[in-house]
Structure 1
């Protein structure tokens, strides 16, 4: 024991400090206290980097640390996001035999046709935005919400704990298949801990109950199956990833060179058939309209932590007297087209013959989408971070640290952002991205060659 302490005393002390900081984050922090939030997150990121640096080959130490850090949040109510109230609400509707895509919470409350014990608490807790819109969470997400409600025994705390266990199990899956995939790609498997121990992942996935980690679990599992030449088996798993969050749908064109035309056609068909099968239990005559209208809002109505859009908005409003509500609508429509063109370029200009090259194209595509997007919540970066570890690019890791600056918006009732802080965030991220693209190392010069 004494010899172990002598060999590992600094990582142990760092881990204990992380536990205390996570405890403070989980139980003694309100999101309006930006200074405390920023300092805690910065300290956690620094300490975590030192733990990985010292113990990167000590799998058991890093695994136990990741487990304990997550257990700190077990009984905590999410304090940086209110989305979990809507998750539980949708789960309660399914439990009561109601399709969550057909009615908004406002409509349910007005009609009074359904009642469950936590109804008023959930409705009061969710944002007005959630209350007046139809659900935009895909079917697998809905099934997991219902499972959490069932396991939670009818209480909000019970459902919260159940959801937390679900996302933690998914993170173990990311670690398991991530390490195996890294080994298959002849990369150091400790790189998976840059996801598993990342403070952004622990706080936003385990703490705030966002399901990007579940999407990533199925996504990495599917990539591993492809690496083992089991692409047919990967199709239902990839469909599960899409039906947790829609983001992997945008990568489908990139597989055409990796699989070849015939195999990719079969792959696309099977993935879409599996998605349709998962959608079928929720289908109704108005489902498509309700769902597409709600998803469309993210492109044309919301803005948070944007980079290029904020520059465009500043120029358009100040010099061309554009109206902000009209600008975001037209910008959102334009971005959808630009992103589609970029993905097709990555699909047909890059070779994408190897799995690493394919995943690198995915990193470029998603990063470009986020840079152009009007809305980039901190938990969105978790997905980018999770599969960027299989490439040589580390700008998503920088982003997972810098994105905490976006939470300054919650320090005031109007959620007004600080453009200076957003400028710092994106100068760091885009600057590091450019450095990795055109830096001095030879590997950085193969953007359209590999």
Structure 2
């Protein structure tokens, strides 16, 4: 703690204010209290900017502060998301030797045979949507749920604490590999704190137990080893990232030119082609191997059906999709999600292929920017954009000149207004404000801004 003892009084004040705000956020706030939520979050974001840009703190001091903020949540029950109840449910099923991909919570509860502790409370609080569907969390994510059950199979709070510690450990990994990757790219290492110190990440991941942090850890470590020409390790780590959250599958085409025409080489070689194919095989093989403990005849059908819900049934905090949906109402008179939801993956794949072959991605910064643009396009067109979904674009933006995700990480909190309404109806004006700001900064970044976020001292 020696690094913190050197702080000056003017540096300590915003930190103290943030500590108070985080404690209130963790232990006093309810999701329905939107005005209180937005006020606390605004204070925290202002404090984050003051500490990061004007505090003139060392790397170690910023790290101590970031993880000190995380420690404040250690005994808090998540208050903005109920997903953790399903995490605990799945982990305890696995501990009892049951496959979470084969039975829904509704089916288990209806059977009358309750194999896990706190089943009634977990079932009640996970929500109707979660209870009626098979688990959609990939195997390595399930491994973390299992670890929580292993250490705390009777207490919900105990499981929450274990899950939170695992997420904090992942963030430590992101800090380590993010710093090394920035140094490799000759970028100020303090850039990593746009992610690590960001209240959005601290609240959504550490606070509300979303495992994007683990996915990001595997992704960033994969990129680091790829840029160090250790592509075998990189492929395995990328496969692990996909096995936490499926979204990095989208990135696979972007690596095409990295292997075929990397750096100064402009000639196609058989060796490079073999490396490319081997890289893809290792990524997919890692993912497949992770599913083997859960393998059954029903697994593929159940899992693909559950994943399909995100494209054909669920709607939340979308932008372009809502425009397409409104056009559908004008011409057909009803919601076109079944049609639009099937077109979105095709558009995303086409866009990813387009930037893959237009940008070439032969240099690290170009490749990372392409990953950022591909995932941003997906989120811009998706039917459902929960706040924690943007964690991955936030970490990728750290290594680029783009600032729009920083803005998004603040303004996305407006989406929580929906939960303050009895009927969970979204506010169109707040959606418009959120996305007009995000798109405005995005277009500024793309067409005008070429400077790194290098104002951190």
Counterpart of 1:143 in structure 2 is 143
Contact 2:31 2:80 in 1 (8 A): yes
Instruction: Write the deviation string for residues 120-160 of structure 1: whole angstroms up to 9, x where unpaired.
Output: 11111111000000000000000110101111242101000
Counterpart of 2:170 in structure 1 is 170
Bigger shift: residues 139-148 or 46-55: 46-55
SS in 1 for 2:113: coil
Contact 2:401 2:449 in 1 (8 A): no
Alignment of 1:13-28 (within 5 A): 13-28=13-28
Counterpart of 2:295 in structure 1 is 283
SS in 2 for 1:16: helix
Instruction: Write the deviation string for residues 72-100 of structure 1: whole angstroms up to 9, x where unpaired.
Output: 11111100000000000000100000000
Alignment of 1:39-78 (within 5 A): 39-55=39-55, 57-78=57-78
Matched, 1:396 2:405: yes
Alignment of 1:170-209 (within 5 A): 170-209=170-209
| Deviation for aligned residue 1:7 | 5.9
Instruction: Write the deviation string for residues 187-228 of structure 1: whole angstroms up to 9, x where unpaired.
Output: 000000111110110000011000000000000000010111
Q: What RMSD in Å do the two structures reach over aligned CA positions?
A: 1.7
Q: 1:236 to 1:98 in 2, by over 3 A?
A: same
| Deviation for aligned residue 1:441 | 4.6
Instruction: Write the deviation string for residues 405-449 of structure 1: whole angstroms up to 9, x where unpaired.
Output: 111100112210111001001011011000111116599xxxxxx
SS in 2 for 1:30: coil
Counterpart of 1:107 in structure 2 is 107
Question: Aligned partners of 1:108, 1:405: CA distance in 2, in Å?
Answer: 36
Counterpart of 2:268 in structure 1 is none
Q: 1:387 to 1:308 in 2, by over 3 A?
A: same
Counterpart of 1:320 in structure 2 is 331
Counterpart of 1:365 in structure 2 is 374
Counterpart of 2:266 in structure 1 is none
Gaps of 5+ in 1: 444-450
Matched, 1:336 2:328: no
Counterpart of 1:9 in structure 2 is 9
Contact 1:102 1:134 in 2 (8 A): yes
| Deviation for aligned residue 1:272 | 0.8
Q: 1:6 to 1:224 in 2, by over 3 A?
A: closer
Contact 1:52 1:193 in 2 (8 A): yes
How many positions carry a matched residue from both structures?
Answer: 439
Question: Aligned partners of 2:443, 2:333: CA distance in 1, in Å?
Answer: 31
Instruction: Write the deviation string for residues 290-324 of structure 1: whole angstroms up to 9, x where unpaired.
Output: 0000000000101110001112222332x224312
Q: TM-score, normalised by structure 2?
A: 0.93
Counterpart of 1:251 in structure 2 is 251
Bigger shift: residues 151-160 or 87-96: 151-160
Question: Aligned partners of 2:8, 2:229: CA distance in 1, in Å?
Answer: 40
Instruction: Write the deviation string for residues 19-59 of structure 1: whole angstroms up to 9, x where unpaired.
Output: 10001001111111111101111110011111011345512
Contact 1:56 1:190 in 2 (8 A): no
Matched, 1:272 2:281: no
Question: Aligned partners of 2:121, 2:229: CA distance in 1, in Å?
Answer: 49
Pick one of 411, 421, 444 that aligns with 1:435: 444
Instruction: Write the deviation string for residues 338-391 of structure 1: whole angstroms up to 9, x where unpaired.
Output: 001011111111120001101100100010110011100000011110121011
Contact 2:402 2:449 in 1 (8 A): no
Question: Aligned partners of 1:33, 1:111: CA distance in 2, in Å?
Answer: 37
Q: TM-score, normalised by structure 1?
A: 0.95
Alignment of 1:227-242 (within 5 A): 227-242=227-242
Question: Aligned partners of 1:265, 1:255: CA distance in 2, in Å?
Answer: 11
